[in-house]
Amino acid sequence: MRKGMLLSKKYARWGWFFVTPAAGLIFILSFYPMVYAFILSLQSGLGNNLRFTGLKNYIRLFQDPIFPQAVINVFIYFVIQVPIMLFLALILASVLNNRNLKFKGFFRTIVFLPCATALVSSALIFKSFFSLDGIINFFLEHMHITNGPISFLTNAFWARFIIILVITWRWTGYNTIFYLAGLQNIDTSVYEAARIDGASSVQQFFRITLPLLRPVILLTTIMSTNGTLQLFDEVRSITITGGPGTATLTISLYIYDILFRNVTQFGYAAAVSYSIFIMVAVLSLIQLKVGDKAL
């Protein structure tokens, strides 16, 4: 018994030895910046002239005419793009999980390939597709659908559509892998029993697949929410400034503008960044509560 206690203490020491470096890096690279950003959000000024101003930067959020538009834009992306992306990922995962499907490895690679491409390069490719002399305008004119090129990127509706299209194209395969892993953990005997009882493929999908995949669906929903509210690369690469006007501006791009394009305001930028943190936390909490009840 004494030897067992000594052995457990030895394992505990070695455990802390391996965990401590990772925990230290997480603290330095994640928690410390979060705390420092919150302190900075309560200050105004630059460099050594920083002064404590309390909640002034947070009050300014409600007086800023641009910030609400950025919030509306990211919620448009969130409400439209996330459900479409997750639904497509679920359908693709169900198809790729079919035991009778040939060349499964090839198709799984093709589905995941967009996620492996660089964010900027994929966004620029789509931007070229929808440019005045791009392939989309060439096709529309060639098919006599339009009489001339359409300026997609200067139209608010089409600019948002292109961004949603890019995000969906790139991240659907990423979520498909999660759903595919979840489907492979479902015992096939459950489906066999359902087929014996006369359940159709549609009934099996809604009565078996969806209920058993709810934890994975909840995980992907939270991750997609986090990613959409922090959207930056696609909008920056396609529209540069979030145009036309502020029609595609996101919160992260607005933070970039505050720090690098306009007069640098570190305190206000930190307050805007914390607004993303609060929104992600609130939405994730709601999704967890709804997910727990559903489960």
> pTM for this one?
0.87
74-78, 159-163, 174-178, 183-187: the lowest-pLDDT one: 183-187
Q: How many helices (H) and strands (E) does the chain have?
A: 15, 2
Helix (H) or strand (E) holding 246: none
Q: According to the model, what pLDDT value does residue 2 have?
A: 53
pLDDT tens-digit series, residues 157-173 = 999 999 999 999 999 99
Q: Which amino acid is at 88?
A: L
Distance CA 278, CA 68 (A): 15
| Contact by Cβ (8 Å): 82, 231 | no
Q: According to the model, what pLDDT value does residue 208 have?
A: 86
Q: Report the DSSP beta bridge partners of residue 43.
A: 52
Q: According to the model, what pLDDT value does residue 211 have?
A: 87
Classify each residue of 75-105 as buried b or exposed e, where b means 16 or more C-beta atoms within 10 Å of its C-beta. ebbbeebbeebbebbbebbbebbeeeeeeee
Nearest to 173 by CA among 220, 128, 125, 127: 220
Q: Where are the beta strands (DSSP E) in the chain?
A: 43-44, 51-52
pLDDT tens-digit series, residues 84-133 = 999 999 999 988 988 888 888 889 889 999 988 888 888 889 999 999 99
| Contact by Cβ (8 Å): 252, 227 | no
Alpha carbon of 31 to those of 25, 35, 67, 166: distances in Å? 9, 6, 26, 32
Distance CA 77, CA 85 (A): 11
**pLDDT value at 9 more than 80:** no
The residue-averaged pLDDT of 33-57 equals 86
pLDDT band for position 288 (50/70/90)? confident
The residue-averaged pLDDT of 48-70 equals 89
Rg value, the chain, Cα:
24
3-state SS string over 179-235? HHHHHHCCCHHHHHHHHHCCCCHHHHHHHHHHHHCHHHHHHHHHHHHHHHHCCCHHH
| Contact by Cβ (8 Å): 227, 86 | no
Q: According to the model, what pLDDT value does residue 71 have?
A: 95
Q: According to the model, what pLDDT value does residue 176 have?
A: 95
Domains, the chain: 64-294 (1.10.3720.10)
3-state secondary structure of 240: coil
The residue-averaged pLDDT of 182-200 equals 86
41-50, 102-111, 152-161, 182-191: the lowest-pLDDT one: 41-50
Alpha carbon of 189 to those of 2, 79, 185, 195, 198: distances in Å? 47, 36, 12, 10, 14
**CA distance from start to end of the chain:** 42
The residue-averaged pLDDT of 49-57 equals 86
47-51, 82-86, 170-174: the lowest-pLDDT one: 47-51
Q: According to the model, what pLDDT value does residue 100 have?
A: 82
Q: According to the model, what pLDDT value does residue 294 have?
A: 55
pLDDT averaged over every residue in the chain? 88
Share of the chain above pLDDT 70, in %: 94
Nearest to 50 by CA among 63, 41, 62: 41
CA angle 175, 250, 224 (to 5 degrees): 15
Q: According to the model, what pLDDT value does residue 99 have?
A: 81
Q: According to the model, what pLDDT value does residue 102 have?
A: 86
Length of the chain (residues): 295
Helix (H) or strand (E) holding 151: none
Distance CA 219, CA 214 (A): 9
